[in-house]
């Protein structure tokens, strides 16, 4: 990945953070932490890795994404709006009665959303089904899925973890957003999910662990995942919950938090200052 | 405003646990939501937060119960019903154990969490489990009393519990009995049978609206949906000749279904049902949802007038 590409992605990621925070800030409350920890992976997918068609969101040859930690919807909505799937103004309708942008991802309401999620633990199985269907239909599509670290405590995740290698789904690339936090506390204190790499490897997945905020590492890892043949891939992302928003960053309380005008202002100026540095 | 419902729930559990070392609490990464952190601080050795794994939580609660403990296990009502139904059905109920399953944020109170989190079917599912007791307190006074009754009751219970906000519909020290509804207001023309924190006050407001139109409406707080207080329902069906059920749930399968089934066999009576009509949940503010699902006092009053006219 060239320096220019990296800079382009960093600029996009900043824009995604700003739009996500404005959207949640407009409503006044939302899942800030888990939305901000996946900004880089989403940015990398939608501005580099994935083939998508904003004018024909259900284009059969598109790549798919299942955002299994569906409460992070607002981050994905920001990107979809920036990509032109729907008008930017929609971002200010988050959770308003009758909205097309509900807190948790809904495939029937929002153009560009491939699967309905929000009940944790279900998305990876759905991604397995989508990957199986793509293979039946002989599509070149890659199916991506993003699960949470707290979400990884659901038993169904590990059922899907057995299914995907069994069916040799090498068109499936999953990410774990390992931000080390869930609602009640730190993941290590509530229900430890380590050793996570060893677990996924033992289940038969091509497994990597990287800094989830680093585009060069994302690029390398996704390339390696694509190379892996005959097995699905898990890329564990070490991330920081609430990254880029001082009121939220690295705080358990950022999970579903009120975002005041002051918090928003502070975050926007921090993000703008970071832009100057880059 | 007084204490939140969840504070009352937790304080009551602490009070019970001080005297009974069998009481324990299980959570699935929603301890902050259920509000049981003070319990965990007082009784760390009797609190088990299993992370985001509700089915495991209910299985674990069943095992605790098999050894004589009295577990109170909680999650959002969607997950405490749909997600764990088989575990609760078999490991807890069919095994004839003593598990108290608590479902919070019922129906439209899920507001911004939206359709994935909006339980309009939990009571209907739970009603299908033989011998299960289903309780939904309407205020902090009944909450404290009913949580104690639930703990005393030998057998599984589904406690549908509103958590945020406070209201007092009863004088302190009112006595409550599982399976016995409370007449909050007497009347002669129609009976509004309601359950829970949202619908009981809505029914009371509807009764006031009806009074202005010269209609005398009785209001019953049916805090125990199963076993249903058949005697009271039939008595008021005879007395008023018209019934409207009010629930923060689908009109099928829950309180409305229970009352309709009973009356069809015991005393056929004109009836209307307020609740979500064959619809899924969605995001929105509480007021938006209350109006959109026509669960508000005006809709209840209109329904009551229509039911009366059908005579
Ligand atoms: C089945 C289910 N149980 C509980 C919840 C409530 N809930 C929403 S997010 C969350 C914590 C998730 O933690 P994690 O996966 O680490 O999310 P992140 O840190 O990425 O926000 C919980 C318990 C849910 N949405 N689904
Ligand atoms: Mg997390």
Domains of chain A listed by start with CATH number? 3-277 (3.40.50.970)
> Are B115 and B246 in the same domain?
no
Does pLDDT of B304 surpass 70?
yes
pLDDT digits (tens, 9 = 90+) for B185-211: 999 999 999 999 999 999 999 999 999
Taking the centre of ligand 2 as the mean of its atom positions, its distance from the CA of residue A176, in whole angstroms, is 9
> Are B147 and B238 in the same domain?
no
Is B173 within a domain? no
Closest CA to A104 of A144, A64, A76, A125: A76
> Are B129 and B203 in the same domain?
no
Is B176 within a domain? no
**What lines the ligand 1 site, CB under 6 Å?**
A 33-34, 37, 69, 71, 118-121, 148-151, 177, 179, 181-183, 241, 255; B 29-30, 52, 54, 79, 83
Number of domains in chain B: 2
Assess B116–A contact: CB distance below 8 Å, yes or no: yes
Is B51 within a domain? yes
Q: Pick from B104, B128, B161: which residue ends a domain? A: B161
Is B175 within a domain? no
Q: Look at residue B89 in the predicted model and tell me its pLDDT.
A: 98
pLDDT digits (tens, 9 = 90+) for A48-59: 999 999 999 999
> Are B151 and B85 in the same domain?
yes
CA of A99: which chain B residue's CA is closest?
A: B283
Does pLDDT of A65 surpass 70?
yes
Q: What are phi and psi of B273, to 5 degrees?
A: -130, 130
Is B196 within a domain? yes
> Are B259 and B143 in the same domain?
no
Considering only CB atoms, which chain B residues are within 8 Å of A104?
A: 113-117
Residue B293: is the preceding peptide bond cis (ω within 30°)? no
Taking the centre of ligand 1 as the mean of its atom positions, its distance from the CA of residue B261, in whole angstroms, is 38
Does pLDDT of A278 surpass 60?
no
Atom of ligand 1 nearest to the CA of A148: 15
Q: Look at residue A275 in the predicted model and tell me its pLDDT.
A: 78
Does pLDDT of A82 surpass 90?
yes
pLDDT digits (tens, 9 = 90+) for B65-113: 999 999 999 999 999 999 999 999 999 999 999 999 999 999 999 999 9
Chain A nearest-CA distance from B309, in A, is 33
Is B174 within a domain? no
What's B288's domain CATH number? 3.40.50.920
pTM of the model: 0.97
> Are B187 and B65 in the same domain?
no
pLDDT digits (tens, 9 = 90+) for A214-238: 999 999 999 999 999 999 999 999 9
> Are B132 and B188 in the same domain?
no
Assess A103–B contact: CB distance below 8 Å, yes or no: yes
Domain boundaries, position B221: 182-310
> Are B27 and B107 in the same domain?
yes
Is B166 within a domain? no
Q: Which residues are CB-contacts of A90 (< 8 A; sequence separation ≥ 6)?
A: A77, A81, A99, A100, A101
Is B172 within a domain? no
Taking the centre of ligand 1 as the mean of its atom positions, its distance from the CA of residue A151, in whole angstroms, is 6
What's B14's domain CATH number? 3.40.50.970
Of the partner residues A97, A116, A191, the one whose CB lies closest to the CB of residue B51: A191
> Are B120 and B149 in the same domain?
yes
Considering only CB atoms, which chain B residues are within 8 Å of A121?
A: 52
pLDDT digits (tens, 9 = 90+) for A88-138: 999 999 999 999 999 999 999 999 999 999 999 999 999 999 999 999 999
pLDDT digits (tens, 9 = 90+) for A152-194: 999 999 999 999 999 999 999 999 999 999 999 999 999 999 9
Q: State the DSSP code for B252.
A: S
> Are B157 and B238 in the same domain?
no
> Are B195 and B83 in the same domain?
no
> Are B142 and B186 in the same domain?
no
């Amino acid at each position: 990945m060239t320096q220019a590409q990296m800079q382009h992605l960093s600029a996009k990621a900043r824009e995604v953070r700003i739009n996500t925070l404005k959207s949640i800030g407009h409503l006044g409350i939302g899942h800030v932490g888990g939305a901000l920890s996946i900004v880089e992976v989403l940015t990398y997918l939608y501005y580099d890795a994935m083939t998508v068609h904003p004018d024909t969101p259900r284009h059969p040859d598109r790549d798919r994404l299942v955002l299994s930690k569906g409460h992070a919807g607002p981050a994905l909505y920001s990107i979809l709006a920036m990509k032109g799937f729907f008008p930017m103004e929609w971002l200010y309708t988050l959770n308003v009665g009758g909205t097309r942008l509900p807190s948790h991802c809904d495939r029937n309401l929002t153009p560009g959303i491939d699967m309905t999620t929000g009940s944790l633990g279900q998305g990876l199985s759905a991604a397995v089904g989508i990957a199986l269907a793509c293979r039946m239909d002989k599509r070149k599509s890659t199916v991506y899925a993003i699960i949470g670290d707290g979400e990884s405590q659901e038993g169904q995740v590990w059922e899907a973890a057995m299914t995907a290698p069994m069916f040799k789904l090498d068109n499936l690339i999953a990410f774990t957003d390992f931000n080390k936090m869930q609602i009640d506390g730190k993941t290590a204190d509530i229900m430890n999910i380590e050793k996570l790499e060893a677990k996924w490897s033992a289940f038969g997945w091509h497994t990597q662990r990287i800094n989830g905020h680093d585009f060069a590492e994302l690029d390398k890892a996704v390339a390696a995942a694509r190379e892996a043949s005959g097995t699905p891939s898990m890329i564990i992302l070490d991330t920081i919950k609430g990254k880029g928003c001082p009121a939220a960053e690295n705080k358990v309380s950022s999970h579903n938090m009120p975002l005041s005008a002051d918090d928003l202002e502070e975050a926007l100026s921090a993000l703008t200052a970071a832009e100057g540095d880059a | 405003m007084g204490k939140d419902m969840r504070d009352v729930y937790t304080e009551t559990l602490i009070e019970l646990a001080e005297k009974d070392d069998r009481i324990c609490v299980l959570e699935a990464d929603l301890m902050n939501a259920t509000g049981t952190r003070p319990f965990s601080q007082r009784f760390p050795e009797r609190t088990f937060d299993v992370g985001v794994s509700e089915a495991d939580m209910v299985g674990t609660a069943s095992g605790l119960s098999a050894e004589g403990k009295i577990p109170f296990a909680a999650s959002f009502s969607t997950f405490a019903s749909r997600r764990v139904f088989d575990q609760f059905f078999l490991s807890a109920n069919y095994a004839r154990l003593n598990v108290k399953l608590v479902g919070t944020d019922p129906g439209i109170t899920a507001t911004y969490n939206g359709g994935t989190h909006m339980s309009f079917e939990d009571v209907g599912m739970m009603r299908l489990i033989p011998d299960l007791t289903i309780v939904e307190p309407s205020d902090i006074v009944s909450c404290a009393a009913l949580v104690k009754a639930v703990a005393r009751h030998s057998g599984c219970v589904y406690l549908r519990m509103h958590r945020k906000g406070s209201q007092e519909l009863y004088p302190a020290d009112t006595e409550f009995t599982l399976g016995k509804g409370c007449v909050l207001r007497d009347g002669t023309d129609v009976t509004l049978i309601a359950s829970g924190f949202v619908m009981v006050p809505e029914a009371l407001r509807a009764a006031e609206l009806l009074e202005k139109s010269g209609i005398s409406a009785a209001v019953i707080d049916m805090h125990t949906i199963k076993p249903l207080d058949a005697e009271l329902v039939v008595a008021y069906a005879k007395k008023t000749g018209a019934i409207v059920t009010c629930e923060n749930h689908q009109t099928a399968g829950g309180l409305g279904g229970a009352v309709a089934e009973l009356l069809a066999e015991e005393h056929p009576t004109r009836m209307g049902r307020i609740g979500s009509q064959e619809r899924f949940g969605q995001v929105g503010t509480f007021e938006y949802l209350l109006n959109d699902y026509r669960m508000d006092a005006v809709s209840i009053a209109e329904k009551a007038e229509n039911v009366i006219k059908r005579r």
